Structure 1
Amino acid sequence: MKKSFFPFVFFLLCSLFAFGQQLTLSGIVQSSGSTPVSGIRVSASGVETTTDEDGFFRLNLPATDKFFHIEITDGQGQTIVKTVKPKGQHRISLGVIYLTGTDEEAGETENGQPTAKDLITGEDRIPIITLSSGEDESEQGPQNISGILSASRDPFIAAAAYNLSTGGFDIRGYRNETVVLMNGMPFNNIENGAIYWSSWGGLNDVTRNRQSAIDLGATSGTFGGIGGYTLFDTRASKQRPGKRISYMYSNRSYSGRLMGTWSTGMMDSGWAVTVSGSRRWAEEGYVPGTFYNLWSGFTSIDRKLDNGHLLNLTAFTVAGSRGSQGSSIQLANDLAGTNFYNPNWGWQNGKKRNARVTRTNQPVVILRHDWQLNEKSTLSTSIGHQFGRYGRTGLDWYNAPDPRPDYYRRLPLFLALENPDIAEQVTEIYSNNPDLLQIQWHDIYAGNVNNGRQYREVPGNWSQVILSDNRSDTRRLNGSGTFESIVNDHVIINAGLTFQREKTHYFKTVDDLLGGDYYINLNRFAPAPGLELYDINNPNPVVREGDTHGWDYDINGQKTAVWLQGRFSFKKTDFFVAGKMTATEFWRTGYMRSAIFPDNSFGSSQKQQYVNYGAKAGITYKIDGRNYFYSNASALNRAPDPRIAYASPRNRHQLVPGLTEEQVLAWEIGYQHRSPGLKARATYFHTQINDGLKLNRFFLPGDVSNFGTYILNGLDEKHAGIEVAFQAKITPTLSANGAASLSENIYTSRPQGFFVIDDDGRINNRGTIYIKNFFVPGTPQTAVSFGLDYRSPKFWSLSATVNYFNHNYIDFSPERRTADAVFGLEQDSPFYKQIVNQQSIPSAWTVDLFGYKSYRIKRNMFFSFTGGVTNLLNATVIQGGFEQLRFERADVEATGINVF
């Protein structure tokens, strides 16, 4: 148990004086596609301002006037005039004001006809966005690039989400550093802070209304993360009224998507309703052996009550299944003749069958209450619940050869170590029979039926190879409350409270016995006879389809956070200060008593408790209404992630050695220009993250083969670089956009390495790991995008984008960076460099095209067509990779080949 006790005090200096009788008039300007528009001039009675990044404006006017003419001008000829009569009020909100003519976000319109950006946002650009999942226990890895999936006001975010995602680009090199809330409900999981964007996949129409930022600035809905925030608002009254039906064809993960949405807007009765649904499907995706079948459904209902109350109920889910692509070593890809080789499938009865099938159905229900306390104060509260199932099947075996087709002992390069002639023969066999590189389902079934094996005297066939379903079913109960008060013309106070309680149930079931009658729940890696039982509370190891085997445990977490923020606005300067306190606890609950760890595996572990603090501040200098300099900084510490806190959570409570809190210091400085014809931003950022942990799991062969965990403790990271982006209108029909990130994301320490074997428990200290100045892997350090966009007055558009990626590196093996690995070698020798140097990924160029055409069928009814091609020139783009974690120097010296 560990706690932090250093003092935590907020100093917010608030001016509480009023400067005469004034009327505060505010509103939000959006395009006809419900996208907030910045840089729009708003004026009345000689007072002028411009809309901010969220399309928001506020005017302070003399309360003595009986009425005002409000002019909203977009700089391209469109002016909206609204007349307001105060009637004694001191605070009036105009709500959302839509630009229905020509504007930068909405595009060219005529007689109310929408254009590309009215109807299309980034997730509709067919070839751009791809969600990929990791190969961890839950397969719900951090789905990073989809952090901002729709059109953003920030040109850099837009480029990163659409164009640069094809190169695996992560903004500022971060993983899981963006805070995400939907209707106030926190969606970052407690285990590792990840966002599972697939939870609302296929619901593009109803998730367009959001606020997003990647900086350290202030916002009214959350304290934010060092990677910014995304706030979704799916209330029915905030959805654009109307009906929409769309169909999309693609050759990516899925081939078809059918989606329909109906929204009433706020009706005179005080009700608003939005319903949306979609199906995404493919009999086979671009990668052989993959399939896709996911259904999405969404309902949101608003009820406007008296006295400034609004209730909202939102419910949605994504349900179905999909076949996965498996990762493989490059040797197998070369043998198959393609980098899209997929070892997860094989032929069965003339059809392709995938062994890695993900099945999901995790509904979300959110209840939100908004209360206008008075003219200057609002209170929003929400409570949400997520539940359901998430599982991914995979092959398991006991006393049988490894059934995976890319198992290294089957590859010619391994066979060549013993007999080169056999290796040549095997290579020729694979070339003439490529189906041998796939799972041999027929042989597996035949082996299970005809092996003649029985466990003791249990009748029936003992399956030696089965399909297991690796489950990670999560239940979340989250709540939040946010308060905002406009103290006076210069001061706004925000405060918030969030509560998260989460339980993820990790277990494995028998999904398919593949022709046999039962399987045995015994540990084939047990270190000694008599210790094979996974669960000594259940001494009968016989399991059948649907039974649990292997592991069965919960990771429980609870987090409570409070934050307070003051925003101060003056003629030339805006600044803010904010503080946050978080209490976190987590623990493991085991449902199997391991024969190897009988006293440290069953029941609930000791709770790990942390109290953490954070503060941030920022200042903006307004040169004029369009040019700004800004600087923000944040300092915080945070509890370790429960996902990496346990050395082997599948079978015991043991914590990793040296578990401690992370320390984070981040700052940024930049310039921004906002006007109807040009948006530009340049930012320098610098983030230092100290005392981190990194875990790698891998298989260790030997006299007692087993799985193990390699732990890096005391890992420090630096993320620093420059971001530049712009969107410029060259002519009324032609615009240009560009974005570039030049960064240095490196490790700045030499951590300590530890190795823990799953079924042993002993901690093997590997000493210092020499990775200082190694690059953080998996994201290009250099990413550049430039594009041209032509929008015809005849309601069609065409855009072309060129993207460049460089300085990306694969993940490394810590064992190759120990003193033992290079003992006795000269540092300038080629063999030393071969062992130690980090491997880079080749640079890449891509070209993307996107086109749009719309037709007006009748009043308020339109038909639109979009199409696009990613990587038009078919360039080879490698997003990431990893080294073999095991390292046997003697084998490398003798053969030039590391173990697989």
Structure 2
Amino acid sequence: MKTTRNWLLSGLLLLVASTVFAQGKITGTIVDEQLGSGIPAVNITINGTTTGTSSDMEGKFTIESSVAKGQLIITFIGFEKKSVNFTVQNGQTVDLGSIKLVEDTSELDEVIVVGRGIIDLAKDRKTPIAVSTIKAKEISEKIGTSDITQTMVNTPSVYVSGQAGGFGDSRISVRGFQQDNTAFLLNGQPINGMEDGKIYWSNWSGMADIANAIQIQRGLGSSKLAISSVGGTVNFVTKATDLKQGGFASVGLANDNYYKSTVGYNTGMNENGWGASVLLSHWQGDGYNNGTYGEGQNYFISVGYKANDKHSFNFLLTGAPQQHDQNFSKKISDYLGFGRKYNNNYGYLNGNYVSERVNFYHKPVANLNWDFKISDKTELSTVLYASWGRGGGTGNYGSSSNKKYVMQTNPVTGLSERTAIDYDQIYANNQALTDGAGNAGNSYLIRSSVNNHAWYGVVSNLKHQLTENLVFNAGLDLRTYDGTHFRQVENFMGLTNFTDTRNLRGENHQGSGTMASNVVTQNVPVNPWQALFNTTDENQRLDYDYSEKISYGGVFGQLEYSNNNFSAFFQGSLSSQSHQRFDRYDYLPQFEDSEKVNNTGYNVKAGGNYNIDQNNSFYVNAGYYNRQPYHDNIYLNYTNEVNPLASNEKILGLEAGYSFKSSMFTANLNGYRTTWEDRVVSSSRTVTNAAGEMVGTTTVAFGDLIYKSNLGVKQVHTGLELDFILRPIDKLDIKGFASIGNWEYEGNAVTRQTDENQNLLKEETIDVDGGKVGDAAQTTWGLGAKYEILTRLSVDADWRTYNDLYGNNGAVKENIMLPNYDLVDAGVSYKFILGQAKTNSITVRLNVNNVFDEVYLSELSSNIKVTDNIPAVGNTPSIGSYQANGRVYKGIADGNQGYFGFGRTWNFSLKYNF
């Protein structure tokens, strides 16, 4: 008995001893595969046990194991569950290194991230800014036929408008600031236009195909460059050369005869470190509104080379040649009378469709990224880039009296309105001229306004780890830009030639009395591919022909401190610009070159983030910008005359925020106040409503485009933003956002109105104090949900509401407010796994946007009150106010111009991965 007892005791001691010696520690860091940043509050448990822990602010974790071999189960909201095997022995500590989590999808490819020091992506809970990130899967699922801007609609303080103008004509506002004052970056490369700061999404129609992530940094942003990030900064991070071999083919169908096909292939990286990825696509469609047909292509080529552990390179070439017909804003009464898809910018010639307004462009972009790991503490990232833009937009040229229309009675107004262009009559009138010789007074033709450029630049950043907690960045930003602008004949409309005559400007930019003329005999049809290589001879140009040269040089630096609970940064940049204009067409030869204008700007930013614990943190930051005016605001009315009011703009931004994060629920609350002085508000565009209308002392014709801009404006934008993600059960994600803003003008402003040729029609100083900033809803909120019904089968829906939306009328004291509206979008996805190896798949997706077919005004570009009188028509006097005549739509006078938003639309896609 005693012997048996001793054996049992010895066995128990051995068991305890083996258990003790098998215990060990497991460490690692949980990171976001796409952004490379640590993820806090991730749940880590040992499979089959109750032992668990959570990652800290940097994504790091430590867990003690009582078993020698096992499996870690890692879960976190919005990411796929991951299992990691481990082995520990003899009380050792095993470091598993970086454990990458991917979004809740199996379609995100592993990519080589290049330009780490250039691409300023904000790391969650470390960089003290308000930020939202959209990953590749959400982009591909929800983009459909829309511009890339549509992927940002479920973001606080972001408003997208202009879609009804045609493919690629949308605009985005962030915190009430239009996109010429929001910075857009492509892999760290600035892409806002250097002349006016604007961005045209038709030039980036392929972005949805090549974007790996989009990060919207509202407010000051984290970019170290001296850029226009007043409203915010939007970083587009494209796919790089893929590590894996494989490819895909996809097709898409949508309303209004839309069709798209895309193919892509990755070679994978070979033993010598080389690899390539290629993508090609084609799209075409009739457009939602009448007369807005569009078509285009997209190409993407990426070649990667990893020379060794220190040097890696990636070359990228992408472009999206396209053309699309356009719809300009119309009176509400026209839409009510002829339908919400009404557009009168087109007609028929001998039974063939012809649009007067076609935008066409081809803008190849190339960049070479070089990442150099100098040492364990020092890295250098550099991107060399170039873009070559070619193309423009068409419109009418000649006497407006020679432009003929098809007329119909509008049942709302009872008036005969212009519903289409009568090209047959125009053609007949032109051919009736002696020898078919046209001029500005006797004929009509279609011209192209060409806007070409060549842009070269380099951005380089040196990052050095001074201490364990202190990092220093320094770099430079150099750019040179040459633009050329002229008009050429697109379609003579039966003419054989056209003579363009003008009085050349001399000293003081006034007419010299010396006349010059061009006899144009060549026409250049719309073709975005040919526009890249062909240009019109100078003696075949008409109306204007000028160019400009802009040179830019900037330096920047940043000092950042961080530990487990606290991070802080100080950032500054200094830049110098030079501008010069060369007018070959309207000036005597000795006065062709303008005065060169040089100006200097700078910005400083500082902020800090404190992590109270692994769930709670808050941040504050502040920044001041002294920013140079854009080129188009330096020279008056597209002449060589320097604008005396074009001074540096002053921007002061203050922000604070709070963040809560757990495995089930995350939320961010942000507050901001931005003041902006001496700014120039971008021109709004309206179409004159009646023949003989007066603007200043000038009589304008029906249908003429009038542009309005404001100078010397001060704005104050304040607001609160909230966004959250909730995952109450494993298969359900709920997202929400809200933003409440108060965006107003202060003081006085100088208002200028010009015609389409930028001739000054009227200038006045007006009181705008307390006027509401328009073109973006100041109050928005939304809620979305995604539910996985079965494995690989999911449904999702998003609801948004827009309030306090004012007209796009520049700086005015009493801006008109549009009716509130709500939108609901929904979609369903399913993924089929193919083959025994399960390496191939087919994914199908169906989207329905504006599910309930909400009828709403998305924007207005005029400011007519219901108490204003309806304009007189011909010899008939005004019949009184809009209100008295019942000419009011949802509280808005129906003489106002703008756009209705899209009704219910749909799109379907099928993608085969191999």
Q: CA deviation at 1:289?
A: 1.9
CA distance, structure 1, for counterparts of residue 790 and residue 106 of structure 2: 6
Question: Contact 1:535 / 1:593 at 8 angstroms: preserved in 2?
Answer: no
Question: Contact 2:319 / 2:362 at 8 angstroms: preserved in 1?
Answer: yes
Aligned-partner SS, 1:192: coil
1:444 equivalenced with 2:441 (yes/no): no
C-alpha distance after superposition, 1:339-366 (max 9, x if no partner): 3211111123334322212222111111
* Aligned partner of 2:261 among 245, 251, 258: 258
Distance 1:369 1:888, change over 3 A: same
- Mind listing any 5+ residue stretches in structure 2 that lack a counterpart? 1-26, 46-50, 64-68, 89-94, 111-133, 165-169, 525-539, 689-693, 882-894, 898-914
Q: CA deviation at 1:677?
A: 2.0
2:596 maps to amino acid? K
CA distance, structure 2, for counterparts of residue 475 and residue 93 of structure 1: 49
1:604 equivalenced with 2:597 (yes/no): no
Distance 1:169 1:508, change over 3 A: closer
1:844 equivalenced with 2:842 (yes/no): no
Structure 1 residues 300-309 or 749-758, which shifts more? Answer: 749-758
Aligned-partner SS, 1:124: helix
Q: CA deviation at 1:297?
A: 0.4
Distance 1:350 1:405, change over 3 A: closer
Q: CA deviation at 1:812?
A: 3.2
Q: Sequence identity, in percent? A: 20
C-alpha distance after superposition, 1:201-225 (max 9, x if no partner): 2243432145542243546788882
CA distance, structure 2, for counterparts of residue 118 and residue 691 of structure 1: 37
CA distance, structure 2, for counterparts of residue 642 and residue 84 of structure 1: 63
C-alpha distance after superposition, 1:472-508 (max 9, x if no partner): 1121111110111222221111222111111221111
Name the residue aligned to 1:880.
859
Name the residue aligned to 2:174.
171
Q: CA deviation at 1:183?
A: 3.4
Question: Contact 1:218 / 1:576 at 8 angstroms: preserved in 2?
Answer: no
Question: Contact 2:323 / 2:361 at 8 angstroms: preserved in 1?
Answer: yes
- Mind listing any 5+ residue stretches in structure 1 that lack a counterpart? 1-23, 62-67, 86-91, 132-144, 417-422, 431-435, 818-835
Question: Contact 2:226 / 2:573 at 8 angstroms: preserved in 1?
Answer: no
CA distance, structure 2, for counterparts of residue 445 and residue 299 of structure 1: 45
Q: CA deviation at 1:71?
A: 6.7
Question: Contact 1:27 / 1:57 at 8 angstroms: preserved in 2?
Answer: yes
Question: Contact 1:849 / 1:869 at 8 angstroms: preserved in 2?
Answer: yes
Q: CA deviation at 1:752?
A: 3.3
Name the residue aligned to 1:545.
523
* Aligned partner of 2:489 among 488, 501, 510: 510
C-alpha distance after superposition, 1:264-299 (max 9, x if no partner): 4433220121111111111x2221222121010010
CA distance, structure 2, for counterparts of residue 162 and residue 182 of structure 1: 20
CA distance, structure 1, for counterparts of residue 681 and residue 870 of structure 2: 27
Taking structure 1 as the reference length, what is the TM-score of the superposition? Answer: 0.76
2:586 maps to amino acid? R
1:694 equivalenced with 2:681 (yes/no): yes
Name the residue aligned to 1:794.
791
Distance 1:43 1:268, change over 3 A: farther
CA distance, structure 1, for counterparts of residue 468 and residue 777 of structure 2: 44
* Aligned partner of 1:182 among 180, 186, 194: 186
Aligned-partner SS, 1:243: strand
Question: Contact 1:361 / 1:388 at 8 angstroms: preserved in 2?
Answer: yes
* Aligned partner of 2:551 among 555, 558, 566: 558
Which residues in structure 2 correspond to 1:273-292 (within 5 Å)? 273-282=276-285, 284-292=286-294
1:784 equivalenced with 2:781 (yes/no): yes
Distance 1:51 1:165, change over 3 A: farther
Name the residue aligned to 1:653.
640
Name the residue aligned to 2:376.
375
1:187 maps to amino acid? I
Name the residue aligned to 1:614.
603
* Aligned partner of 2:248 among 240, 244, 251: 244
CA distance, structure 1, for counterparts of residue 261 and residue 389 of structure 2: 24
Name the residue aligned to 1:735.
733
Name the residue aligned to 1:385.
386
1:172 maps to amino acid? R
Distance 1:399 1:243, change over 3 A: closer
Question: Contact 1:210 / 1:232 at 8 angstroms: preserved in 2?
Answer: yes
Aligned-partner SS, 1:312: strand
Question: Contact 1:398 / 1:524 at 8 angstroms: preserved in 2?
Answer: no
C-alpha distance after superposition, 1:53-108 (max 9, x if no partner): xxx757899xxxxxx999783348945448899xxxxxx9967x5447xxxx3159
CA distance, structure 2, for counterparts of residue 69 and residue 575 of structure 1: 39
Question: Contact 2:697 / 2:761 at 8 angstroms: preserved in 1?
Answer: no
Distance 1:59 1:120, change over 3 A: closer
CA distance, structure 2, for counterparts of residue 646 and residue 411 of structure 1: 44
CA distance, structure 1, for counterparts of residue 501 and residue 562 of structure 2: 66
Distance 1:889 1:553, change over 3 A: farther
Aligned-partner SS, 2:336: helix
CA distance, structure 1, for counterparts of residue 801 and residue 453 of structure 2: 39
* Aligned partner of 1:643 among 632, 642, 659: 632
Question: Contact 1:169 / 1:780 at 8 angstroms: preserved in 2?
Answer: no
Aligned-partner SS, 1:275: strand
Name the residue aligned to 2:6.
none
Q: CA deviation at 1:626?
A: 2.6
Question: Contact 1:717 / 1:747 at 8 angstroms: preserved in 2?
Answer: yes
Q: CA deviation at 1:382?
A: 1.4
Aligned-partner SS, 1:654: coil
CA distance, structure 1, for counterparts of residue 348 and residue 160 of structure 2: 36
CA distance, structure 2, for counterparts of residue 333 and residue 533 of structure 1: 46
Which residues in structure 2 correspond to 1:301-450 (within 5 Å)? 301-306=303-308, 308-336=310-338, 338-398=339-399, 400-403=401-404, 424=414, 427=416, 437-450=419-432
Distance 1:218 1:711, change over 3 A: closer
Question: Contact 2:518 / 2:541 at 8 angstroms: preserved in 1?
Answer: no
Q: CA deviation at 1:169?
A: 6.8
Name the residue aligned to 1:479.
458
Question: Contact 2:430 / 2:436 at 8 angstroms: preserved in 1?
Answer: no
Q: CA deviation at 1:756?
A: 7.3
Distance 1:350 1:670, change over 3 A: same
Question: Contact 1:376 / 1:485 at 8 angstroms: preserved in 2?
Answer: yes
Aligned-partner SS, 2:637: coil
CA distance, structure 1, for counterparts of residue 669 and residue 823 of structure 2: 24
C-alpha distance after superposition, 1:644-685 (max 9, x if no partner): 222211xx2123342211000001111112333222111111
Distance 1:486 1:93, change over 3 A: farther
Distance 1:555 1:534, change over 3 A: farther
Q: CA deviation at 1:37?
A: 8.1
CA distance, structure 1, for counterparts of residue 566 and residue 36 of structure 2: 27
2:637 maps to amino acid? S
Q: CA deviation at 1:763?
A: 9.7
CA distance, structure 2, for counterparts of residue 325 and residue 501 of structure 1: 34
Question: Contact 1:453 / 1:462 at 8 angstroms: preserved in 2?
Answer: no
Question: Contact 1:343 / 1:405 at 8 angstroms: preserved in 2?
Answer: no
* Aligned partner of 2:578 among 575, 585, 595: 585
Structure with the bigger percentage of strand:
2
Question: Contact 1:42 / 1:50 at 8 angstroms: preserved in 2?
Answer: yes
Distance 1:445 1:757, change over 3 A: closer
* Aligned partner of 1:863 among 842, 845, 851: 842
1:803 equivalenced with 2:800 (yes/no): yes
Q: CA deviation at 1:759?
A: 9.5
Which residues in structure 2 correspond to 1:454-493 (within 5 Å)? 464-493=443-472
* Aligned partner of 1:121 among 127, 135, 138: 138
* Aligned partner of 1:576 among 569, 589, 603: 569
1:720 maps to amino acid? T
1:501 equivalenced with 2:505 (yes/no): no
Aligned-partner SS, 2:212: coil
Question: Contact 1:183 / 1:233 at 8 angstroms: preserved in 2?
Answer: yes
Question: Contact 2:30 / 2:60 at 8 angstroms: preserved in 1?
Answer: yes
Name the residue aligned to 1:299.
301
